[in-house]
Structure 1
Amino acid sequence: MAEFLKPKNTNPRGIPEAPFIEKVDTIVKNPESDFENVMKAFQERLQQYKYMELSKRQQLADLNIKIPDIEKNLDVISYIKEKKAEENDEEEEKIIETNYELNDTLYTRASVDVEKLDSVYLWLGAEVMLEYPLDEAVELLNERLRKNNEQLKIIKEDLEFLKENITTMEVNTARLYNWDVERRKKATKE
């Protein structure tokens, strides 16, 4: 790695901070032999930042789907627990009528007797579904919600950090290019 691109600082996840080049002359000692390598190194770093940004944006999109799903599941379990706790004067059954999704475009109707409902099934990922008692399901979902919200905060911080560093590298690259153009103009005039 080029000496001038060695990071002085990194963010907490180890993403290197982009150096800002005040004077191009300080890093391009011999313009004829060094310029292309320096420019290539800056462009490679810029591409690395853009790749990291793309990856973080995908993680952000995934979390923006997961978090509302978890919140929706918590709301449903809360509603079930409320219905179970309701006192009916009459001896009528506690039935919830609901629509649920079978697949992306197919829904069906169901009647659920909340008196007999003591557990729910949760998708854990990787084609795994487990049955949990209502209180354990709430505990698990709250823990996942907390972890996903923490991850969301971290990803947003990383995206901001990457945005700043991409801008710095774009400015550095433009300065290098302009410096080379000026150097060539002077060389032709002489």
Structure 2
Amino acid sequence: MASAVKAPNTSGQEDAPTNPRGIPQAPFVDKVEDYVATRQDVEPTLRKFQEMISKYQFMEMNVQKRMGGLQEKIPEIQKTLDTVRFLKSRKDETEPIETTFELNDTLYARAKIPATEEVYLWLGANIMLSYQVDEAETLLTSKLSTAQTSLSNCEEDLDYLREQITTMEVATARVYNWEIVQKRKEKTSEEVDEQKQS
């Protein structure tokens, strides 16, 4: 048997493999003996595994929240970009555009929009800036691309985290089952000793 307990790497050291965004890979427990030497090592190992599962679940929850925000943000950016492109395509028109725009969820207003070289964009935190139409299109295209890349990364991270959680759950089950087998061996050994003594 192993003379020392090899605890799973939960400290986040550099030698642990990670995904491209730094999420550590869960250890795969092929041989339980690599992690526990005696039955007394089982509880601390199971606690460490449970702690790792909790960390992965916390990361999973954060990634899901980030994904939700991006899934709301991307259509808004796309809608704004489409509007800027429409205004750009009508740059040479002399007739103003007559439109209805939303003031609130149930409140709309009519407006006539003359051809324009300038648009105002909400940047967040109650900040609105004026941009030339071409600059606005470039900015929005960049923001849309960044948001789509972030969403793709979140989806990849979510799949990765689910794999790591499953790996840790399997590792926990293997350690638990190893302990049960050890208990049975000890019980059988005790019964054999009792029979020899009688």
Contact kept, 8 Å, 1:60 with 1:155, in 2: the verdict is: yes
State the secondary structure of the residue aligned to 2:27. Answer: coil
- 1:83-102 aligned at under 5 Å gives the runs 83-86=90-93, 93-100=95-102, 102=103
Note the C-alpha offset of 1:4.
2.6
Asked if residue 187 in structure 1 is aligned to residue 186 in structure 2, the reply is yes
- Alignment size in residue pairs: 180
User: How far 1:157 sits from its partner (Å)?
Assistant: 1.8
Q: In structure 2, how many angstroms separate the alpha carbons of the residues matched to 1:46 and 1:20?
A: 13
Q: How does 1:67-82 map to 2 (within 5 A)?
A: 67-82=74-89
CA RMSD in angstroms, aligned pairs only: 1.8
Structure 2 Cα separation of the partners of residues 112 and 82 of structure 1? 17
**TM-score, length-normalised on structure 2?**
0.83
> 1:90-136 CA deviation, whole Å, 9 max, x = no partner?
xxx32222231x23x33212212223x33222111122111212111
Matches within 5 A, 1:1-190: 3-5=7-9, 8-32=16-40, 34-86=41-93, 93-100=95-102, 102-103=103-104, 105-115=105-115, 117-189=116-188, 190=190
Q: What's the TM-score once normalised by structure 1's chain length? A: 0.86
> Residues 118 and 134 of structure 1 are in contact (CA less than 8 Å); yes or no, is this contact kept in structure 2?
yes
Which one has a bigger Cα radius of gyration? 2
- Report sequence identity in percent: 41
In the other structure, the counterpart of 2:196 is none
Q: CA deviation at 1:147?
A: 1.1
Q: What is the identity, as a one-letter code, of the residue corresponding to 2:101? A: N
Q: Shift of residue 13 of structure 1?
A: 1.6
The amino acid of 2:26's aligned partner reads A
**Aligned mates of 2:113, 2:138 — CA distance in 1:** 23
Measure how far apart 1:73 and its partner are.
0.4
Report Cα offsets for 1:38-90 as digits up to 9, x if no partner. 0000000011011111111111111111111111001111222223334x7xx
Equivalents in 2 of 1:181, 1:3: separation in Å?
Answer: 20
- Structure 1 stretches of 4+ moved >4 Å: none
What amino acid sits opposite 1:125 in the alignment? G
